[in-house]
Amino acid sequence: VSVSIHRGEFEDFNVRKGKAWGALNQMKKIWGSSMRRSTKVRLFRATVETILLYGSESWTVTKSLAKKIDECYSRMLLVALNVRWDQKLINRELIQDIPRASEKSEINVSSS
């Protein structure tokens, strides 16, 4: 039973991920603009993050799923902040004061 439950969360996350990437890509002109970083982050959190994490409070988030969420979130944030993949940035520099997606209060990571 737990396998099918976890599979459901992965499937739901993949749907949310696709929708969030779609929203992110529709805003390419904004991400490529000279808009202040803080404004881009607020816009990212209000649009892309909201789409990605919609319904996550009902997910049973395993460590594996939390890792996938955080990896996806970081890649999306790179795009939103107009940082190329080949720029040598560590995640702490990129994210600074932005909590990881799996650290959001709505997501509870289970120990399984």
What φ, ψ does residue 61 adopt, rounded to 5°?
Answer: -95, 110
Nearest to 44 by CA among 87, 90, 101: 101
pTM of the model: 0.77
Check: CB of residue 49 under 8 Å from CB of residue 101.
Answer: yes
pLDDT digits (tens, 9 = 90+) for 50-96: 999 998 888 888 888 888 998 999 889 889 988 876 766 555 566 66
Check: CB of residue 55 under 8 Å from CB of residue 9.
Answer: no
